[in-house]
Chain A
Amino acid sequence: MKLPVKIRGWLADRYEIGVVEKFVEQQAHKPLPQETGFWHTFGSLSLFLFINQVITGILLMIYYRPTTETAFESVRFIMTKANFGWLIRGLHAWGATLMIVCVLIHMIRTFFMGAYKKPREMTWVMGVLIFGCTVTFGFTGYLLPWNQLSYWATTVGTEITSVIPIVGVHLRTLLRGGEGVTGETLARFYVMHVVVLPWVLTGLIAVHLFLMRVQGLATMERIGEEKPIDKSKAVPFFPNHVMKEGVILCLLVGALMALIVLFPVELGEKADPFVTPEGIKPEWYFLSTYQLLKYLPKLLGILVSMIPPLLLLLWPFLDRSPERHPKKRPVAVGIGIAALFLAIVFGVLGHISERKMTFFGQKYEIDIYGVPHKHSDKTPHRGKLPR
């Protein structure tokens, strides 16, 4: 008798294994709506990347030391001395970026296909919380190498909170563990990054997946007019959809490896609390908010930048139309496209600002607002003349 059969027999003698087998069988062969395609694979990809983050994060923790004296050196040790350390850190850093990309694409797909509508409002809310948790992971993880960019990006990022009336300064103190960004901040961010957030995100993902499996995937039919899935036209979860996920997963792993090799994650210089380098910027997913804050007074900027996440969270309760098809939801789709467009425009402005660029042989200095000024050696290097 083969070993797996023996093990199954051993378990069946002791536990109601048939119940578990029936459940797995049902889940594996659950029919999916006809519309289920490649765009539906980004949820699974996000989950795969989360698992990648957990595994590589545990491996990084073996050598990482979260103190101001040792953090930078320990990351340098990982990258230069530990066997395949460069690969583990690359998988973790680029995996984080790709995870945010996948979660974003998954949310965009859900939004434009109207899949957040009744009865799946809470699945959407859990998804938005997962997105929030993912970017918080990025923010807390960014400080851990304790280099100049991470130190000053964290200083600016946490300073922004201080403009919130009444609680702002206290919130900043709580986040930093004191007045400035110090070893206390590093310890707090480390605990958040490796203990609190992983468990919170695991819980959110578990509820999200549970709701998704219980309610099934949304079709394109109007609310209240959904027909039972026609099994002759349905897409079986296994093997059809799983194969699609496998194909996209292979492409993702390829892209991940290519990014690690072609654009290796740099370490830069060790954090110096007394010298701010020029042109510090946050990670790409905060660039649009960062740029927006430059145009507005601090308090107004904070209030305006809180609108998009709040809108995202409450959107299923604001959009009451029964239609799901994007062509029948011009307002919602218009708002969605406008929001994406603004995010990209502000993000690009944030990226090009405070840089020197050459267009058709002419040198330009892009000022903090993203406005190009012709460069000459006589003009101030900041690009904008003071009053």
Chain B
Amino acid sequence: MNQEKTVTRRGFLDWLLGAGLGAWAFGFVAPVISYVWPAQRRGPSIQTVSAGKAEEFPEWHSKIVAVSGHPVIVVHTPQGFRAFSAICTHLGCIVQWDAGRRQIVCPCHAGFFDINGKVISGPPPKPLPEHGVAVVNNEVLVKSS
């Protein structure tokens, strides 16, 4: 037979004490977790960085520049300048330009990307994100996104 559950005064006080202790512990733990979580850096969302003078940049040559703290690979093709994130989409290694094969290569696990940043072979799951490039006053400017 089902007996109706009654809350005794002692039981209620025990529950209240337990809940109070839990809240007290949470009050200590929450700031610690929040402290350990990395503080977000705030700043301008779009940054433009110079990759150098266009005439100092021969065709089928590349350069890696830091844009908002992230490495970006800039390649001079006959059709113009192309820029991609230099962080391999597989495990985060920095890709390099293979001028002989005209491909972007990841030195870690043999990931190959074409000049459009698309995966040709190897384990990378996604293409390299592209960055905007503009040549202004003979200066190659790369946008952060």
Contacts and interface: CB of A to CB of B under 8 A. Distances in A.
Interface residues of B, number: 30
A101 interface: no
A177 B38 contact: yes
B93 A274 contact: no
Contacts of A178: 38, 41
Contacts of B110: 354, 367-368, 382-384
Given A156-B92, A382-B105, A274 B120 contact: no
Interface string A142-181: 0000000000100110011000000000000110111010
B107 interface: yes
Contacts of A367: 110
B10 interface: no
B94 interface: yes
Given A294-B123, A386-B103, A156 B94 contact: no
Interface string A374-386: 0000001011111
Contacts of B96: 276
B37 A174 contact: yes
A274 B66 contact: yes
> What secondary structure prevails in chain A residues at the interface with B?
loop
A380 B101 contact: yes
Q: How many of chain A's residues touch chain B, expressed as a range? A: 20 to 34
B84 interface: no
Given A159-B91, A274-B86, A380-B101, A386 B120 contact: yes
B77 interface: no
Contacts of A156: 91-93, 108
A307 interface: no
A334 interface: no
A173 B93 contact: no
B83 interface: no
Contacts of B108: 152, 156, 276, 280
A278 interface: yes
> What secondary structure prevails in chain B residues at the interface with A?
loop
B25 interface: no
Contacts of A177: 38
A254 interface: no
B38 A386 contact: no
B125 A298 contact: yes
B38 A184 contact: yes
Interface string A268-279: 000001111111
B71 interface: yes
A155 B93 contact: yes
Contacts of B93: 152, 155-156, 276, 280
Interface in B11-57: 36-38, 41
Contacts of A279: 107
A173 B38 CA distance: 7
Contacts of A354: 110
Contacts of B107: 276-280
A387 interface: yes
10 contacts: A173-B37, A173-B38, A178-B38, A184-B38, A273-B71, A275-B64, A275-B94, A294-B109, A383-B110, A387-B120
Interface of B: 36-38, 41, 64, 66, 69-71, 86, 91-96, 101, 103, 105-110, 112, 120-123, 125
Given A156-B108, A384-B110, 4 more contacts: A160-B91, A173-B37, A273-B94, A276-B94
Interface of A: 152, 155-156, 159-160, 173-174, 176-178, 180, 184, 273-280, 294, 298, 354, 367-368, 380, 382-387
